[in-house]
Amino acid sequence: MSFGTVINCMDGRVQNQVNAWLRDRWVVDFVDTITEPGPDKILGEGEPRTLLNSILDRVAISVHKHGSRHIALVAHHDCAGNPCDRETHLALVHAGLRLLAHHFPEASVLGLWVGPEWTVEEIPPEG
């Protein structure tokens, strides 16, 4: 059995399509799903520390116990947990991906955006 890991918003409007997209992209059997309201803000800003550490602990279980070699961080349109514009979401995702790559160098990291039509798109890497 193969696993990937997604850090996603708790908003139910983004769960199904993100997990299906990731299973196809990564060709994995399962996607360990870690949810918080506005996770891009938590990882991008590193606050609140208790939630950041909780997310990192859960990713560590997925990576070290389930053997996940892929981690995705999701931001989405109309997020109640992090109400801001798309550009701010993307900047936070990039900062969050840098943090995840530092903590989990054995895994690839990927940013995703779910727009107003509720479709999943990959966020291009920085640079």
Tally of structural domains, the chain: 1
- How distant, in Å, are the alpha carbons of 64, 87, 113 from that of 72? 16, 18, 10
Domain holding 60, by residue range, is 3-123
Q: Looking at residue 55, what is its pLDDT?
A: 98
H/E run at residue 47: none
Q: Give the CATH number, domain containing residue 85.
A: 3.40.1050.10
Phi, psi of 77 (to 5 degrees): -60, 145
Q: H-type helices in 1-127, by residue range?
A: 15-26, 39-45, 49-65, 86-103
- Judge residue 55's burial from the number of C-beta atoms within 10 Å of its C-beta, 0-12 exposed, 13-18 middle, 19 or more buried: buried
pTM above 0.85, yes or no: yes
Q: Looking at residue 69, what is its pLDDT?
A: 98
10-residue stretch averages of pLDDT, the chain, 127 residues long: 97 96 97 98 98 98 98 98 98 98 98 97 91
Q: Looking at residue 126, what is its pLDDT?
A: 87
